[in-house]
């Protein structure tokens, strides 16, 4: 039977332990974007990273013996600096919920008291789930921007918004080498005239010529993938003319096998959803946008967490603190009047994107 009042049972440490169990019980698959990024933590709000400018290797110049070697200008690096944004929400245990818990506690009904406690703890779990959405959303704003410019849009509670820029003054240069936008009858939304397979091959060629890398993995959402599969040209190439005219239906796995066997292309369909600040559900990858990754690069950057105000200065005399998922702070405290128990979940987070040149973005519909 629980013997602790709610202020002692509902602690950051208990929530941290509950989070690990809760996450496993949900059976949520890991976010795909995070698989392309490492995880790091730092002090302060400023995030600096060095972006290497990739290009094709330049042949060494011929030289005479005993002659001075000419200096070659380095390909160069670019330092990118941004301020890491802050995210925070809180949850308050109502006096009624606390009263229900204490009623069952006083009546020696430990089963119902524990049930009330579990339900109360689910609300902070939702805040931690929301904290994990933030870096995943950031990653896909960088990897799959519809306009081809990697940047992160931040909306602030109470009004206001700002943009975190990852290309600074080189947006046009980046788009010229790392972005393809189809138009007219080439769009995949025109199944009779679209040629999706050739579009992927052309993207491989462009990236190979610009960066000397081979695009191997193309990521899109289900709607975009269905446009690929349903294009008449796709059906003809994968099924063959005889099977196509015979009305045989095309299967997703056959298209994926065809691309892998003939062009070394792996397709990933990523359909995970989140609810945005507008209250509507969204896919992390927008409709009609594809993110293509070079096969020789395993990590595109790091998701960096900062030290939140709660972790840095939260009073442990009047509250409790736990840090989960490297940098998500859970902080609980109780107010004297009204007597309420509060939970604050916060994070300071921003990805670096050192290998952004190894990603090509396609706008196909």
DSSP per-residue letters across 184-216: GGGSTT-TTT--HHHHHHHHHHHHHHHHS--EE
Q: Is residue 227 part of a domain?
A: yes
Pairing of β 359-363 and β 179-181: parallel
Q: What's the whole-model pTM score?
A: 0.87
pLDDT of residue 21: 82
Average pLDDT over residues 61-89: 69
- Among the listed residues 68, 51, 70, the one whose alpha carbon sits nearest the alpha carbon of residue 60: 70
Q: Residue 184 in contact with residue 325, Cβ under 8 Å?
A: no
pLDDT of residue 63: 65
Q: Is residue 66 part of a domain?
A: no
Q: Is residue 59 part of a domain?
A: no
User: For residues 64-79, b (16+ Cβ closer than 10 Å) or e, as one string?
Assistant: eeeeeeeeeeeeeeee
184 versus 242: the higher-pLDDT residue is 184
Q: How far is CA 170 from the centre of its chain?
A: 23
pLDDT of residue 73: 57
Q: At what angle do helices 252-263 and 222-230 cross, to 10 degrees?
A: 80
Average pLDDT over residues 201-223: 97
Q: At what angle do helices 196-211 and 171-178 cross, to 10 degrees?
A: 120
Bridge partners (DSSP) listed for residue 91 = 343
Average pLDDT over residues 165-192: 93
Q: Indicate the pLDDT class of residue 48, thresholds 50, 70 and 90.
A: confident
Q: Residue 137 in contact with residue 121, Cβ under 8 Å?
A: no
- Among the listed residues 18, 30, 290, the one whose alpha carbon sits nearest the alpha carbon of residue 128: 18
What percent of the chain stands above pLDDT 90? 57
Please report the beta strands in the chain, taking only residues with DSSP state E, as ranges in sequence order: 37-41, 46-52, 77-83, 86-93, 151-155, 161-165, 179-181, 215-220, 266-269, 273-275, 281-283, 289-294, 301-305, 319-324, 328-335, 340-351, 359-363
Please give the DSSP secondary-structure letter assigned to residue 15. Answer: H
Question: What does the alpha-carbon distance between residue 201 and residue 213 come to, in Å, rounded to a whole number?
Answer: 13
pLDDT of residue 155: 87
Q: Indicate the pLDDT class of residue 30, thresholds 50, 70 and 90.
A: confident
Q: How many domains does the chain have?
A: 1
Q: Is residue 72 part of a domain?
A: no
Question: What does the alpha-carbon distance between residue 112 and residue 40 come to, in Å, rounded to a whole number?
Answer: 41
Give the number of other Cβ atoms within 10 Å of residue 51's Cβ.
22
Query: Is 101 buried (19+), middle (13-18) or exposed (0-12) by CB count in 10 A?
Result: buried
pLDDT of residue 1: 43
Question: Phi and psi for 4 in degrees, rounded to 5?
Answer: -100, 140
Q: Is residue 60 part of a domain?
A: no
pLDDT of residue 78: 62
Q: Indicate the pLDDT class of residue 313, thresholds 50, 70 and 90.
A: confident
H or E element at residue 105: helix 95-106
What the block records as the tokens of 139 is 């990653």
Predicted confidence (pLDDT) at residue 187 exceeds the cutoff of 80: yes
Q: Residues 331-364: pLDDT tens digits?
A: 999 888 787 889 999 999 999 999 999 999 999 9
Question: Phi and psi for 219 in degrees, rounded to 5?
Answer: -115, 135
Q: Is residue 99 part of a domain?
A: yes
Give the number of other Cβ atoms within 10 Å of residue 309's Cβ.
14
The DSSP code sequence of 118-155 is: HHHHHHHHHHHHHHHHHHHHHHHHHH--TTS--EEEEE
The CATH code of the domain that includes 145 is 3.90.1690.10
Predicted confidence (pLDDT) at residue 323 exceeds the cutoff of 90: yes
Question: What does the alpha-carbon distance between residue 365 and residue 152 come to, in Å, rounded to a whole number?
Answer: 22
In which domain, by residue range, is 193 found? 6-54+78-363
Q: Is residue 84 part of a domain?
A: yes
Predicted confidence (pLDDT) at residue 106 exceeds the cutoff of 70: yes
Radius of gyration for the alpha carbons in the chain, expressed in angstroms and rounded: 26
What the block records as the tokens of 149 is 């410019």
Q: Is residue 239 part of a domain?
A: yes
């Amino acid at each position: 039977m629980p013997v602790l009042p709610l202020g002692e049972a509902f602690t950051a440490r208990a929530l941290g332990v509950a989070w690990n169990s809760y996450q496993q019980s949900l059976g949520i698959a890991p976010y795909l974007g995070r698989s392309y990024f490492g995880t790091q933590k730092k002090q302060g709000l400023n995030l600096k990273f060095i972006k290497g400018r990739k290009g094709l290797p330049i042949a060494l110049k011929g030289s005479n013996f005993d002659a001075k070697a000419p200096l070659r200008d380095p390909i160069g690096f670019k330092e990118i600096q941004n301020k890491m944004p802050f995210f925070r929400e809180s949850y308050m245990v109502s006096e009624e919920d606390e009263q229900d818990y204490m009623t069952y506690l006083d009546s020696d009904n430990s089963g119902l008291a524990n049930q009330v406690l579990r339900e109360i703890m689910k609300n902070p779990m939702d805040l931690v789930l929301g904290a994990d959405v933030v870096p995943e959303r950031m990653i896909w704003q960088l990897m799959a921007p519809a306009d081809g410019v990697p940047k992160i849009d931040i909306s602030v509670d109470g009004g206001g918004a700002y943009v975190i820029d990852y290309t600074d003054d080189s947006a046009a240069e980046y788009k010229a080498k790392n972005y393809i936008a189809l138009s007219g009858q080439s769009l995949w939304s025109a199944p009779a005239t679209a040629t999706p397979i050739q579009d992927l091959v052309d993207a491989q060629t462009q990236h190979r010529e610009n960066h000397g890398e081979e695009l191997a993995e193309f990521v899109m959402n289900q709607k975009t993938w269905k446009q690929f599969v349903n294009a008449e040209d796709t059906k003809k190439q994968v099924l063959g003319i005889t099977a196509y005219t015979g009305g045989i239906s095309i299967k997703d796995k056959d298209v994926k096998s065809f691309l892998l066997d003939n062009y070394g292309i792996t397709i990933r369909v990523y359909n995970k959803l989140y609810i945005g600040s507008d209250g509507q559900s969204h896919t992390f990858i927008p409709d009609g946008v594809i993110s293509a990754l070079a096969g020789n690069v395993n990590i595109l950057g790091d998701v960096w967490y900062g030290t939140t105000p709660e972790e840095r200065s939260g009073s442990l005399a009047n509250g409790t603190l736990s840090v989960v998922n490297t940098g998500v702070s859970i902080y609980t405290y109780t107010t004297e009047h009204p007597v309420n128990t509060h939970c604050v979940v916060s994070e300071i987070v921003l990805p670096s994107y050192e290998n952004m040149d190894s990603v090509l973005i396609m706008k196909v519909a």
